[in-house]
Structure 1
Amino acid sequence: MVFSALLRFIFGFGLLSLALSQSNAGGAATTPDLPWVLTFGRPSNYDSYWNFDTSSIPADPIHPFRRVENGLEINVFRGPVDGGTQQMIQIHVESSSSNHDVFWQVYNGGSIVTRYSAIQHRPQTTELQSNVQGTFAMIPYQPGTRITLYWRLKDGGL
């Protein structure tokens, strides 16, 4: 189970990175034009949280910073997008059971962090939803920033 989850994570990231690196084949660096933090208020109705410093995140998708907790798996690593010109923190969250969905948010201080599923993709909601297939989020890499993930499980799933 853990091995297949890691393979899905690496394969998914590889496709995402390839697509993003091709998005700017001209070679000029593209910096996402969104503010780094959007204020949506403090999270509520979340069962669990985990925080980490972005400086501690490895730049290695094969050996991500990993957390497994009852009901979910989180893999985090730093990686280049846009032809290697933009460093992003890659976050992958998945439910460990097809009977549950994971609802999660990414915070820095009292504000939700702007997330991207692709370069220049504006978040439409404050919350992401993951199932056993997992969901990616990316945030611009800024060393020394403390990030907090909040999540809750909900019965249902696939």
Structure 2
Amino acid sequence: MMDSRSLAAALLLLFGLATVFAQTSAPGKACETKNGTSCEECLQNVTCLWCIKTKMCLTYPARTILPPHALCPLNDARWGLCWMNFQTLIITLAVIGGIIIIAFLVCLFCCCKCENFGSKRAEAKMEKQANKTRTKQEERRAEMKQRHDDVRKKYGLSGPNPYSKF
């Protein structure tokens, strides 16, 4: 059985293909000539709208975007597919569009958050490495000073410098 995502994707693909392949409509009242036929025959032309209630094939009113209720109620209007009413089509496309927008915003937020988290992490790692290097350098300086002091003590040079008078 198809899940809702694959059904929605199939519907979008079908409507896209229907609009591309059905652009061969004749100008004028081509839809009204198909009155009294079936829904499938009417909807072969993408500019046609089938009204189940009146069983009429009408030219889709593109200027009003949605067909007016006086022409055909949305529950009874069919466009693109005979088995799906116009109201369901609008709701489905709106939900899919909303999901896509929300998914895009979530991805955008996650990417920005991860990028900021990664840069803070990198800064902390660099700071830790700098502290380690500084600590090792101080230890080496202390060891060198200790060795120099031991050598001076061994040869009796730990006192005041005899050449400091000059």
- TM-score normalized with structure 1 length: 0.27
Structure richer in helix, relative to its length? 2
More strand by share: 1
TM-score by length of 2: 0.26
